[in-house]
A and B are shown apart, each in its own frame.
Chain A
């Protein structure tokens, strides 16, 4: 299996080779080659920027089709809190959970409930003083990938706790096995997700041997099926065995948007940033130790947090208003950590540095390549126009160093060809 799968799918028939994705990509992972957009798998962090910006709609976020649940005898849904924010006038999220049961799921475990356990465990970790501060949230898979490729010095600051969806999957799976006594392969656990980065993290998990999630369903795919199923629900007798599945409180639901996770840490020494460019600035400053006295850092690649994921429908800022309204009547926290779970909250193994930018493994060689790069750069016009298929003149020079054969349209217009560089 590809060690660095991505969750962006290109339809080459639609791609017209324009430079929108090229210029927008925050990690310079995109090039235009032979008139089509090409992604470097090592550099791509699954932030979804290229999907958002593509005017030809040639890029689609990877997720599983709704039919992914077919063939499982017992189906468990893990709804992300961003799902609730898609609905208008939602007073009780039990209605959404009821609709999911009516849709065909047998059990539900809210990602928000698991998030509350992660919040509680995070508070304990900080209080015990056994972690590097500031602790960086591990919840956004794009941010984790960004740190792995660009900010290796910050890897030791990443929270050792699993992302809420992984905690939810583990808990839900255990419960399903206990309840049904079915073999593992007949139980399907499905995340209802706001972004494709979650798809990648399921297919190539970081810090987990194997994800317990069997499929990733887009909020944007399942949401349109739900409103009609919400009519005539008996909210009082919704759940089988009288067990309530509606557990996530204010903290868990708030994880859907920016600031929610930091809010759950219950400390005023938390920083929240969203939008990948802002996140990169924060990480760069953090790397230079420009921040003092912070305990926790919440970062999401999407503006608006998970509510801004490319697998959602509602405008993230409107979604935020809806989430705030829904939160109002919820208890602060609905899920509590029980002692036996503690171990399953922590990820296993190491998060590794992915050196995707180095010119060479040998420093001496890198130095001479860098000199060559600077020499090429001096001869380029510095317009960063993207016409050559690289996002900046510097990136073009870097490609040339790596063996790319191509030219500069401006040099050519002036009768000066790349080969003379």
Chain B
């Protein structure tokens, strides 16, 4: 048994960036998902959403919830990441000065996603886009 929550991530609108992950978070709260799981999911989803807004003019977030785990897939059709290993380094960023001046693009997005997810996978193809898949286990308290 599982449910799929899909949200579009609009591009180039920083004022509304974060709304998709917020909507996911509210639904997870309603589903009675343990608070610490929600925390990890919403941080990971938010970072992914912001990355899609900054680097790929938006994309899509799909969250699949089943009783054992939550899988977040963030996909975009942007330029792709040429060197994933480099992109995974803390503080490494290709964001423009303009975007950095807005307080985004500090080079912590991907490392944070990896940190908060129990499983992390990133695939990217030049000119086609990036797909990030993160899995967070449902650590049910006192089971």
Q: Write the residues of chain A forming the contact surface with B, with a CB cutoff of 8 angstroms.
A: 150, 152-153, 284-285, 287-290, 353, 355, 357-364, 366-368, 370-371, 374, 398
Contacts and interface: CB of A to CB of B under 8 A. Distances in A.
B39 A363 contact: no
Interface of B: 1-3, 18, 21-22, 25, 27, 29-33, 35-36, 38-39, 42-43, 46, 65-67, 138, 140
A366 B43 contact: no
Q: A357, A363, A364 — which one has the most chain B CB atoms within 10 A of its CB?
A: A363
A289 to B, nearest CB: 6
Contact of A357 (B1, B29, B43): B29
21 contacts: A150-B29, A153-B35, A153-B38, A285-B18, A287-B42, A288-B42, A290-B18, A353-B35, A355-B32, A358-B31, A359-B32, A361-B32, A362-B32, A363-B67, A366-B31, A367-B31, A367-B65, A370-B27, A370-B31, A370-B65, A398-B30
A371 B3 contact: yes
Contacts of A370: 3, 27, 30-31, 65
Given A367-B3, A370-B65, 17 more contacts: A287-B39, A288-B25, A288-B46, A290-B18, A357-B29, A357-B30, A358-B31, A358-B32, A360-B32, A361-B32, A363-B67, A363-B140, A364-B1, A366-B33, A367-B2, A368-B1, A370-B30
B91 to A, nearest CB: 14
The 8 closest A-B pairs by CB, nearest first: A358-B32, A366-B31, A152-B35, A364-B67, A153-B39, A363-B67, A288-B46, A367-B3
B138 A289 contact: no
B138 A363 contact: yes
Contact of A359 (B31, B38, B39, B66): B31
A362 B30 CA distance: 12
B18 to A, nearest CB: 7
A152 B38 CA distance: 10
A23 to B, nearest CB: 18
A359 B28 CA distance: 10
Contact of A288 (B2, B21, B35): B21
A290 B32 contact: no
A32 B96 CA distance: 51
A360 B33 CA distance: 10
Nearest to B21: A288
